[in-house]
Amino acid sequence: MNFIQNINRTWTLFLDRDGVINERLIDDYVKYWNEFQFSEGVLEALRILNLRFQTIVVVTNQQGVGKGKMTIENVGEIHKKMIAEIEKNGGRIDKIYICPDLKHNNPKCRKPETGMGEQAQRDFPNIDFPKSIILGDSASDIAFGKGLGMKTVFVKTKPEDFEKAAQIGYDMEVDSMLEFTALLKNHEV
């Protein structure tokens, strides 16, 4: 947890979406806005994180598109409304990266592969991976962060990934984004 005290305004925050920003639907996908529900404390947390990080991006696997469960337009509409609500509450997301491809096709964009992080760095040249953090609830999020040399924070909302994430090894575990934010506030510079 020592890295928390080093975080300053030059750092970047990478966020997974389902299970971190919003409630994850078990064995389903958030296909429409009316199925999207912010996780408890997320809007408050993002308001605080807005002041702590230079860049905040979302990296999310959305293979429901590849499976035909929803369209890329559905996902775009969800993200548009999600960002509007975040901004209305004083937070921000600088950009959202999605990978709609199926897992079995092994796409470079799909976490644990690092394609979305590399694209974010091309879009935001200020991103320095050793001064970046990924908040994610799956083993693939942790592997993504490790693959890019980030600090990794495991959000414990997906019990089936607890053991896999621990085997990969993460830098910190929290129950929610709000808990992570509280830890940051305790080490303000």
Please say whether the beta carbons of 91 and 49 come within 8 A. yes
Give phi and psi for 15, each to the nearest 5.
Answer: -125, 135
| β-bridge mates for residue 172, sequence order | 153
* Residue 159 burial (10 A CB sphere; 0-12, 13-18, 19+): exposed
Which of 18, 137, 141, 161 is the catalytic position?
A: 18
Which of 16, 137, 141, 171 is the catalytic position?
A: 16
Alpha-helical segments (H) within the chain = 42-52, 63-66, 72-88, 115-123, 139-148, 162-168, 177-185
Residue 123 annotated as catalytic: no
3-state secondary structure of 98: strand
Residue 16 annotated as catalytic: yes
Give the angle subtended at the CA of 80 by the CAs of 150 and 129, to the nearest 5°.
Answer: 10
Residues annotated catalytic, as ranges:
16, 18
